[in-house]
Amino acid sequence: MSDAVLKIRNLQKSFGEHRVLKGIDLDISKGEVLVIIGPSGSGKSTLLRCLNFLEEYDHGEVLFHGQLVGYRKASHNRIIRDSAKAIASVRKRMGMVFQSFNLFPHMTVLENVVEGPVHVRRISRSDAERDARALLDRVGLGSKINEFPSKLSGGQQQRAGIARALAMNPEVMLFDEPTSALDPELVGEVLDVMKSLAADGMTMIVVTHEMGFARDVADRVVVMDDGSIVEIGSPADIFSNPAQARTAEFLRRVLH
Amino acid sequence: MGYSWDFQTVWEYRQVFVRGAIITTQLTFWATIIGTGLGLLLGLMRRSENAALRYPAAVYIESFRATPILVQLVWIYYSMPILTGLQLGNITSCAIGLGLHCSAYIAEIFRAGVNSIDKGQWDAARAIGMGYSQMLRRIILPQAIRRMIPPFINEFATLIKLTTLGSVLAVNELLHEAENLINNTYRPLEIYTAVAVAFAIMIYPFIYASQRLERHWKVRS
């Protein structure tokens, strides 16, 4: 797998006594759509947050294009926390979309989207605004660019969140339960945007409870339970012919 | 009952009030600069994950909040020269003392304001690759400051009134000037009333502006 964008090796993480990730191994290739499903508290979101180091992991490795994320080797093979600058430079190459949107409420939709390009990537405001308008058109918010987030519906806010992440020109997009906070009738508009991104070849890692999305869009589905990967397979295998009893049990509960 | 008010005397000596108000304003100005700058620093230190920053800030804040400001002022003006050989003028001592004092309160206002911002805002700012000071400047403080304005104005109004303690160090601020005037004119009721009105005139515009600002922000976001 020479084209692996992310490699995860024996990733472990505890919150106090509670082991949230118990040794995760996973590769994500360029252009792949990987969907992570599993019961609440199984460690899906924590795994995702370790990838851009919003969450510090305790053991194992996350490699982004072969480069260790969050830590570096010091003398005598000691592993120490990487500099804030190095961590930030990895983060700006990954886009992240949050369950609760986390738009900046003191900025308009357009300002939200140009914030990263102007102040982190340091491109000119006029270029950033031109790109932002195109992105906002693409997610169907062309008419809302000067609104504040509080004036938007949840679905609109999440689409703005996706545009904000895309504006950084990320190599991979991380979606942390992007539709879980939405009213049911607003889920579709967000999933449609994600589908069109997938169709364009974006590398995506999606933590979700939307089984329909997993079945239709995923290249591979990862089933997690209790901090471990239960099984990985194509959507057809996972949904029609799961190898593990725990997968079958989980699907039986969520699909009925 | 038979007291006859005489505000004519107050009017004749209006220059004294203006002179005092100028000193009061200067004290307030410098104490606000010191208090806000140091308060921000202390507030951030107290939130730090680094104990070497957190503990000194906590000790400073709690010491200044737990001791009387009058003692702090006397300390800076009378005790510091004995201990360090550094003798500051009375106005400077007073401005610094008030600044140090209110920095402890402003630190707590900053800390509470920053803590009140949703954790997701930090996540979102980090996720687009922002550094700590950039997140603070662009994302966290612009939101937190809106919540800090009411307690900050409150602290500011308290500070203006605390400048009257300058009279203990013989600073010619409004109250001290007024007391001198009382000794000459024997009109304490009128003069103290005038002092109260002068303070109200200085303080109320800030309270009004704060209320307007709150309303403005409520409408905007």
Q: What is the ipTM of this complex?
A: 0.94
Chain A: residue nearest B139 by CA? A104
Write out the E strands in chain B: none
CATH of the domain spanning B8-220: 1.10.3720.10
Say how far apart CA B12 and CA A9 lie, in whole Å. Answer: 85
CB contact (8 A) between residue A98 and residue B128: no
Provide the shortest C-alpha distance from residue A236 to chain B (in Å): 33
C-alpha B181: how far from chain center: 26
To which residue do tokens 């994302």 refer? B139
Residue type at A42 in one-letter notation? S
- Best mutation target among B48, B49, B128, B143 (most A Cβ atoms within 10 Å) is B128
Per-residue pLDDT tens over the stretch B59-80: 999 999 999 999 999 999 998 8
Provide the shortest C-alpha distance from residue A90 to chain B (in Å): 8
Binned at pLDDT 50, 70 and 90, residue B49 comes out as: confident
Specify the higher pLDDT residue, A203 or B219.
A203
Within 8 A of A101 by CB-CB distance, chain B residues are 120
Q: Where are the domains of chain B?
A: 8-220
Within 8 A of B113 by CB-CB distance, chain A residues are none
Query: How do the residues of chain A divide into helix, strand and coil, expressed in percent and rounded to 5?
Result: 40, 25, 35
Mean of per-residue pLDDT scores for chain B:
92
**Residue B153 near residue B105, CB atoms below 8 Å:** no
Provide the shortest C-alpha distance from residue A247 to chain B (in Å): 31
Binned at pLDDT 50, 70 and 90, residue B220 comes out as: low
pTM: 0.86
Provide the shortest C-alpha distance from residue B66 to chain A (in Å): 35
Residue-level pLDDT at A74 = 86
For A52, the closest of B127, B131, B134 (CB atoms) is B127
**Residue B38 near residue B98, CB atoms below 8 Å:** no
Provide the shortest C-alpha distance from residue B119 to chain A (in Å): 9
pLDDT at B218 > cutoff 80: no
Say how far apart CA B36 and CA A219 lie, in whole Å. Answer: 55
For A174, the 3-state DSSP assignment is: strand
For B130, the closest of A88, A94, A105 (CB atoms) is A88
Q: Return the number of CB contacts < 8 Å for A and B.
A: 69
CB contact (8 A) between residue A168 and residue B123: no
Residue-level pLDDT at B9 = 87
Residue-level pLDDT at A1 = 47
Say how far apart CA B47 and CA B61 lie, in whole Å. Answer: 13
For B204, the 3-state DSSP assignment is: helix
CB contact (8 A) between residue B127 and residue A150: no
Residue-level pLDDT at B132 = 92
Say how far apart CA B131 and CA B17 lie, in whole Å. Answer: 50
Burial of B217 (0-12, 13-18, 19+ CB in 10 A): middle
Q: What angle do CA A226, A232, A237 make, to 5 degrees?
A: 120
Question: Within 13 Å, how many C-alpha atoms sit on residue B197's CB side?
Answer: 11
Residue type at A243 in one-letter notation? A
Per residue of chain A (256 residues), give pLDDT as tens: 457 999 999 999 999 999 999 999 999 999 999 999 999 999 999 999 999 999 999 999 999 999 999 999 888 888 899 999 999 999 999 999 999 999 999 999 999 999 999 999 999 999 999 999 999 999 999 999 999 999 999 999 999 999 999 999 999 999 999 999 999 999 999 999 999 999 999 999 999 999 999 999 999 999 999 999 999 999 999 999 999 999 999 999 988 7
Chain A: residue nearest B118 by CA? A102
CB contact (8 A) between residue B129 and residue A85: no
CB contact (8 A) between residue A119 and residue B127: no
Residues in chain B, total: 221
Per-residue pLDDT tens over the stretch B107-165: 999 999 999 999 999 999 999 999 999 999 999 999 998 889 889 999 999 999 999 99
Say how far apart CA A244 and CA A10 lie, in whole Å. Answer: 21
